Structure formats: structure tokens, C-alpha cells
């Protein structure tokens, strides 16, 4: 669904105050060679409040933006923020695995630059009643799109011990997954777990005293619930291959990940895309089997000490990037 950017609002300054785009200058630097060409199209697959996109539209005056987000609040705020750019902006309400359909609906076949800034946004963390932050007592919602789907409270109320343990282990890499799952089942037998503060109490009580200083006991469980509620990893596994297929020759993609599960998948996919598929034992590489992409950075880049000091949310970021160097066979 396309969204027309409305007029500006006083909330714009608020959004700029609470949201500092992560690794903005590095993202611009990496995508610039692809976006300087006439008629370039840039896809911000995780639009959020539009901080990254605003910078690209300002610095590349001929670029057209297609911005995607599942969060209707984020789309509204970004639409107000980017309204000054007029018909250069097309915003689409969709999860990022709908990238191919969103680009096609905008009348575009191929694009030149794509940015994924994964994880939970500043808007979702800072609005207490969304339930993403374990430091704030709020209803356990955690949906990035509040118009659809099950909430974190629904997961806690309906999943069995085995399923809770599975998501805590897989999506949170939580060593106490079984212990926490049993504690949740015991607590919900007394009353429904519907607020983040109550869940934190349950997890804290179930954490051995010797581990209480090893980080907040709720951090990994909240991450796991958020990923489960929003289907984040499954969506990412569909979205990135589709994004690579959309890139023109010379087109570039940048991905910012904030937790190891996401980063491992991005690393593996880009490794496959930048590897030759020439069968082993052949003396020369066959042109049709040459790598389709090349890596633009070695390994994963981290935020500088200065940026982490200015913007603590940049602390866990891992940046990876690639450029299309050959069309598909």
C-alpha cells in the first residue's frame, strides 16, 4: 500500500531529537557510487522515522526513495519528515520481505542502492506502551505492526514449555531458557502475564544469585519474544535474497545488524553471493559461474568509539556491504 507524505508537523523535531541514525556517514559513503548516477533509485527497507533516508535525499538530489516499514506510526512520522522532497518519495506499508512487490508497485524494475537497518527502532523502544523495553513497565505487545498479529502476551499465555524454551534458546541464545520457561508456566497458572514489569519480576526471581551480575536477566528473553512476535529472522531470510536480485549492475547494499543471529545470516548470504560457483577441478573459472557480487568491507565493521559515546544504540552494530559486479546468468 503506497502512502502519500502529508504536510509537516511539530512532531518532526521530536523525531530528530530521539532518533540518531546509526553509522550514517559510513552508509552514505558506501552507497554513494551507486546513487550518484542519474535516475538512481534507493530503497530504505527499514525506514523507521526516516533519518537515514532524509540524509540520502538531501545529499543526492536526483535520487528517488522507496521507503518500507511495517510500523504505521513510523510511516506517518517519516512521511511528515520527508514531505519536503515531494514526489521523489514513495512510502509503502510492508514488512521488508515484501521488498520486490513494493518496488514493482512503485513502477520500478531494478534499483541502485538498498539499506537494511535491522532490529527494533528508536520509536518502538522509546514509546513505553509498545512493550519492547524491559526497563519500562508496559503492556507486553512488541508488535512492530500493531494492526495485526499476536502479541508477546499471547505468546506467553499460549506457548508450551518446550516452545518457550525453543524460542529463548534460538532467538535469545539464553542459557537459562528451560529454567525461565518453567518459571513462566508456573507464574501464568496464577494469573496472566500481560505487562513487561511482571515478566521482569518472574525472570529475575528465576535467575540464580550467582548470575545476577552477568547482565540483565530479561535482555535475551525480551529479544527472543520480539523476534518471535514479528517473525524477524524468517522475514530477513526471504528479504535479503530478494533485495540482491533487485540490484542493478553496480548497485550496492548495506546491512546493519544488531544481534548475532541476524549478522550470521547476512555474513553467510553475502559469502555465497561473492563466491564463484565454478565446479571444483576446472582449470579456469567459467564466466557464467563468476561471483555476482563483491564485498565492500572486510568482515563486519563496528561503530567508532566516538559514535558509541554519542549514540549508545550503535554499540552492538555490525555493518556488511556488497556491490553487484555481474548480472545473473
Please give the CATH number for the structural domain made up of 128-230: 1.10.150.170
Q: What is the C-alpha to C-alpha distance for residues 158 and 251, in angstroms, rounded to an integer?
A: 45
Q: What is the C-alpha to C-alpha distance for residues 273 and 276, in angstroms, rounded to an integer?
A: 8
Q: Angle at which helices 11-18 and 72-82 pack, to 10 degrees?
A: 110
CB 62 within 8 A of CB 34: no
CB 53 within 8 A of CB 67: yes
For 216, the 3-state DSSP assignment is coil
Which strands sit side by side in the sheet containing 64-69, from one edge to the other? 2-3, 89-93, 64-69, 41-44, 111-117, 247-257, 318-324, 293-295
Dihedral of CA atoms 25, 26, 29, 31 in degrees, nearest 10, equals: -110
117 marked as part of a ligand binding site: yes
159 marked as part of a ligand binding site: no
User: What's the confidence (pLDDT) of residue 13?
Assistant: 39
State the sign of the Cα–Cα–Cα–Cα dihedral 42, 48, 51, 57: positive
User: What's the confidence (pLDDT) of residue 22?
Assistant: 93
CATH code 3.40.50.150 region(s) in the chain: 2-117+232-324
Q: What is the C-alpha to C-alpha distance for residues 106 and 283, in angstroms, rounded to an integer?
A: 45
* pLDDT by position in tens, the chain (length 329): 344 343 333 344 354 555 679 999 999 999 999 999 999 999 999 999 999 999 999 999 999 999 999 999 899 999 999 999 999 999 999 999 999 999 999 999 999 999 999 977 655 555 556 666 777 888 999 898 887 889 999 999 999 999 999 999 999 999 999 999 999 999 999 999 999 999 999 999 999 988 877 778 888 999 999 999 999 999 999 999 999 999 999 999 999 999 999 999 999 999 999 997 666 666 666 666 688 999 999 999 999 999 999 998 899 999 999 999 988 76
124 marked as part of a ligand binding site: yes
141 marked as part of a ligand binding site: no
306 marked as part of a ligand binding site: no
The cell for 202 is 518472574
Q: Which fold has domain 2-117+232-324?
A: Rossmann fold (3.40.50)
Q: What is the C-alpha to C-alpha distance for residues 128 and 316, in angstroms, rounded to an integer?
A: 22
The cell for 120 is 527494533
Q: What is the C-alpha to C-alpha distance for residues 100 and 104, in angstroms, rounded to an integer?
A: 6
154 marked as part of a ligand binding site: no
Name the nearest CA neighbour of 40 among 54, 56, 16, 27. Answer: 56
The residue assigned the cell 532467538 is 171
**185-218: burial string, b at 16+ Cβ within 10 Å, e else:** eebbeeeebbebebbbebbeebbeeeeeeeeebb
Q: C-alpha angle 214/215/216, rounded to 5°?
A: 130
CATH code 1.10.150.170 region(s) in the chain: 128-230
User: What's the confidence (pLDDT) of residue 178?
Assistant: 97
User: What's the confidence (pLDDT) of residue 276?
Assistant: 74
51 marked as part of a ligand binding site: yes
| Chain-centroid distance, C-alpha 268 | 17
Amino acid at each position: 500500500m503506497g502512502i502519500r507524505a502529508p504536510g509537516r508537523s511539530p512532531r518532526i523535531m521530536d523525531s530528530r531529537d530521539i532518533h540518531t541514525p546509526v553509522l550514517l556517514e559510513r552508509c552514505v559513503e558506501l552507497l554513494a557510487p551507486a546513487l550518484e548516477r542519474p535516475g538512481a533509485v534507493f530503497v530504505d527497507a527499514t525506514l523507521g522515522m526516516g533519518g537515514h533516508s532524509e540524509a540520502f535525499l538531501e545529499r543526492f538530489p536526483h535520487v528517488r526513495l522507496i521507503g518500507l516499514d511495517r510500523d504505521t506510526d513510523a510511516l506517518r512520522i517519516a512521511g511528515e519528515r520527508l514531505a519536503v522532497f515531494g514526489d521523489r518519495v514513495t512510502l509503502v506499508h510492508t514488512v521488508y520481505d515484501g521488498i520486490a512487490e513494493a518496488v514493482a508497485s512503485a513502477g520500478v524494475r531494478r534499483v541502485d542502492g538498498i539499506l537494511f537497518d535491522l532490529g527494533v527502532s528508536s520509536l518502538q523502544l522509546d514509546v513505553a506502551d509498545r512493550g519492547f523495553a524491559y526497563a519500562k513497565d508496559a503492556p507486553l505487545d512488541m508488535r512492530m505492526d500493531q494492526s495485526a498479529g499476536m502479541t508477546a502476551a499471547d505468546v506467553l499465555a499460549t506457548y508450551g514449555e518446550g516452545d518457550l524454551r525453543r524460542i529463548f534458546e534460538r532467538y535469545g541464545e539464553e542459557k537459562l531458557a528451560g529454567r525461565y520457561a518453567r518459571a513462566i508456566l508456573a507464574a501464568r497458572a496464577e494469573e496472566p502475564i500481560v505487562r513487561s514489569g511482571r515478566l521482569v519480576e518472574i525472570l529475575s526471581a528465576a535467575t540464580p544469585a550467582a548470575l545476577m551480575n552477568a547482565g540483565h536477566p530479561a535482555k535475551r528473553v525480551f529479544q527472543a519474544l520480539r523476534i518471535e512476535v514479528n517473525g524477524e529472522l524468517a522475514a530477513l531470510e526471504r528479504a535479503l535474497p530478494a533485495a540482491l536480485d533487485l540490484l542493478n549492475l553496480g548497485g550496492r547494499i548495506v546491512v546493519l545488524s544488531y544481534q548475532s543471529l541476524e549478522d550470521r545470516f547476512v555474513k553467510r548470504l553475502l559469502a555465497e553471493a561473492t563466491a564463484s560457483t565454478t565446479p571444483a577441478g576446472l582449470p579456469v573459472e567459467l564466466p557464467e559461474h563468476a561471483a555476482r557480487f563483491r564485498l565492500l568491507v572486510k568482515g563486519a565493521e563496528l561503530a567508532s568509539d566516538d559514535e558509541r559515546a554519542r549514540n549508545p544504540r550503535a554499540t552492538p552494530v555490525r555493518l556488511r556491504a556488497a556491490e553487484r559486479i555481474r548480472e545473473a546468468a
